[in-house]
């Protein structure tokens, strides 16, 4: 049986100038939301030092926090639309 705590919400963001892609996954566990993200180089290889995690109270807070952190690191992606995979995160469905 699929429960909200077993669903992982995945999304990506592309920097068209550098070719880098940011990959973000958000999942609920024990009442907290965990965000895991990293970026791939233009060759599609994971950049090892880009692996990060964050814990938040809500999925939307996790997304907003990661979005801010990435934008602070890579200003080229400010205002670029994220691509959301199905199932869509709760703040988009609500």
Contact 43, 56 (CB under 8 A): no
Count of alpha carbons within 13 angstroms of residue 63, beta-carbon side? 22
Q: Tens digits of per-residue pLDDT, 29-84?
A: 988 999 999 999 888 888 878 899 999 999 999 999 999 999 999 999 999 999 99
pTM of the model: 0.86
Residue 67: count other Cβ atoms within 10 Å of its Cβ.
19
Average pLDDT over residues 15-24: 93
Contact 35, 25 (CB under 8 A): yes
């Amino acid at each position: 049986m699929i429960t909200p705590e077993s669903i992982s919400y995945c999304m990506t963001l592309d920097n068209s100038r550098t070719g880098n892609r940011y990959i973000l996954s958000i999942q609920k566990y024990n009442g907290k939301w965990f965000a895991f993200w990293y970026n791939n180089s233009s060759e599609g290889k994971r950049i090892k030092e880009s692996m990060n995690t964050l814990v938040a109270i809500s999925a939307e807070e996790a997304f907003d926090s990661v979005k801010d952190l990435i934008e602070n690191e890579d200003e080229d992606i400010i205002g670029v639309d994220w691509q959301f995979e199905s199932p869509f995160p709760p703040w988009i469905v609500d």
